[in-house]
Chain A
Amino acid sequence: MFNSEIETMSESKMKELQLERLKWSIRHAYDNVPHYRKTFDDAGFNPDQFKTLDDMRRVPFLTKQDMRDAYPYGLFAVPLSKVVRVHASSGTTGNATVVGYTKNDVEVFSEVVARSLACYGVTENDIVQNAYGYGLFTGGLGAHYGAEKIGAITVPISGGNTPRQIMIMKDFGSTVLCSTPSYALNIADYIESNMPDFDMSSLKLKIAVMGAEPWTEEMRQQIEKRLNVDAFDIYGLSEVIGPGVSAECTEKSGLHVFEDHFYVEIIDPDTGEILPEGSEGEIVYTSLTKEAFPTIRYRSKDITRLYHDSCRCGRTLVKMDKVTGRTDDMLIIRGVNVFPSQIESVLMQEEGTEPHYQIIVDRKGTMDEIEVMVEVNEKVFSDEIKVLDSLAKSLAHRVKSTLGITAKIKLVEPKSIPRSEGKAVRVIDNRKK
């Protein structure tokens, strides 16, 4: 455990710490960021009225749109001279979101990533191959600083160039791989299809630190089997800090939230009401220590639940379920709610199919139509058309029986679905909004 005092703190003591830090953070945001001052004032809320954790319900939310509107520095709470680093989200829809860090914020960021790595069993004896992209994206530098903080050898290879990744992995004796789950599978694909004589036991890899995109249990099993590793989830959002908001422990059931730095709540996404512990809903974050970019009640749109479960790892930190869906990603197909991750689970139940898929939603007349593109690899390919046809039919049947929607399965060539070292685009919704 990287910080056992915090990570095993009693629930009541943690609440005291959070209350004290919340008072500071809410006041800090109000005093230094015009946006917060305005929304708090408009809601008739004054930071002086914040006395107990129950008062959280009175604090206005912060949305992604608020962040975009503040582009680039509008939500910074310290003079720019105190900011030592910025990151930015890719901004696939609308403006990018720019986040800033003071020296102290960078220190907190490094600490929570180091704690995450320690959760998976990474120590100073490890060699961490960091295949997250270095750049504006928080993953690269975040994992880098965390790995250095723990004292491991940090290999800053960044994303891409798969043959070189494999060579370095072998030559340097990397024991830990940090990347997106889809990139880890890319590496496995590459080895399996282009290096038939490659001896997996020549790799020392034992831990895969997977984050930056939602992934499923089925994907974990594939990564673990094909790369011969234990794969763990690292979760985070650049708006909150980056990776390291929460991390799985070796139990691989739920992620411990580093709640001494991030206060979490679950709300009903429709009404905004706080839901009791254990309920599923949208997770909302409040930073407790961040100086440059405080986030007060940020609506993440990620769907999960929070719970305490005397975890066998000894940590008392609240746990959240692995995030496999976002309110944003949720598709409503002919009135049925569908998450892309559910389709992924269905696809991966079929022997040999891989999690390289893309969902295309269209509207023909008044009917929503959904097409799932699935890449055909050599494990499922046949020279006989009827075998391929029956694969497509069987997948369509599974989608229908599991999700209750009719989908057309379209078999496509390998690598025809764009993948990135960042995030895979899973859904293309062509319906008029």
Chain B
Amino acid sequence: MNVTQISAFVENKPGHIAGVLKVLADNNINIITLTVADTADFGVLRMILDKPELAKAKLSENSITCSVTDVLAIEIDDTPGALLKALEAFSNLELNIEYMYAFTQKIHDNAVMIFRFEDIEKAKKALVEKGCRIIRNIDIIGEDK
């Protein structure tokens, strides 16, 4: 049920993110969601893509430093305070979140958040026990293409 995230290293300079996107476009890879974390000099582009393996191979081929990370996509009620409640629940379970970002589409009428936990297996186990709805990769990117 892990979701595959591709992260790419980009310098904070005009055109550098575009360079990554061009590789994806040229290879007909669709971006399902994307977020950028940046510092003064560089940023990390985090992406959920429909063809992660192909993306990794093509980005590397184009000398773009990238990595594959497993993250969890979790359904959160689309109501005020729901995310806060979820975070409090994670905190009670002692699950450290490295970062998180929102998913653009709703699933089952709920909002979806992507979480990068310090320990994904521990998080998964605790969340399943708690009855959280974790979205499978396949629900996001569709059947293997």
A residues bordering B, Cβ < 8 Å? 193-194, 376-378, 381-385, 388-389, 410-416
Q: Is B41 an interface residue (CB 8 A)?
A: yes
- A193-B60 contact, Cβ under 8 Å, with A376-B65, A384-B98: yes
Q: How far is the CB of A146 from chain B (nearest CB, A)?
A: 34
Jot down 25 A-B pairs with beta carbons below 8 A, ordered by A: A193-B63, A376-B9, A376-B42, A378-B60, A378-B66, A381-B7, A381-B66, A382-B7, A383-B7, A383-B46, A384-B98, A385-B39, A385-B44, A388-B9, A388-B44, A389-B39, A412-B11, A413-B9, A413-B10, A413-B16, A413-B64, A413-B65, A414-B64, A414-B65, A415-B63
Q: Count the B residues whose beta carbon is within 8 Å of the partner chain — how many?
A: 23
Q: In the bound complex, do residue B66 and residue A385 qualify as a contact, i.e. CB atoms below 8 Å apart?
A: no
Which residues of chain A are near B63, meaning CB under 8 Å? 193, 413-415
- A194-B7 contact, Cβ under 8 Å, with A385-B44, A388-B44: no
CB-contact partner of A410 in B7, B41, B67, under 8 A: B41
Q: Is B51 an interface residue (CB 8 A)?
A: no
10 closest cross-chain pairs (CB), A and B: A383-B7, A415-B63, A381-B65, A383-B69, A414-B63, A376-B9, A193-B60, A376-B65, A385-B37, A411-B42
Q: Closest chain B residue to A375 by CB distance? A: B65
Complex Cα distance A385/B64, Å? 17
Which residues of chain A are near B67, meaning CB under 8 Å? 378, 381-383
Q: How far is the CB of A194 from chain B (nearest CB, A)?
A: 6
Q: In the bound complex, do residue A416 and residue B60 qualify as a contact, i.e. CB atoms below 8 Å apart?
A: no
CB-contact partner of A384 in B11, B64, B65, B99, under 8 A: B99
Complex Cα distance A411/B9, Å? 9
Q: Is B139 an interface residue (CB 8 A)?
A: no
- Among B86-142, those with CB < 8 Å from A are 98-99, 116
B28-44 toward A: CB 8 Å interface, digit per residue (1/0)? 00000000010101101
Which residues of chain B are near A384, meaning CB under 8 Å? 44, 98-99, 116
Which residues of chain A are near B64, meaning CB under 8 Å? 413-414
Complex Cα distance A389/B9, Å? 13
Q: How far is the CB of B97 from chain A (nearest CB, A)?
A: 11
- Among B22-77, those with CB < 8 Å from A are 37, 39, 41-42, 44, 46, 60-61, 63-67, 69
Which residues of chain B are near A382, meaning CB under 8 Å? 7, 67
Complex Cα distance A376/B66, Å? 10
Q: How far is the CB of B84 from chain A (nearest CB, A)?
A: 24
Which residues of chain B are near A388, meaning CB under 8 Å? 9, 39, 42, 44
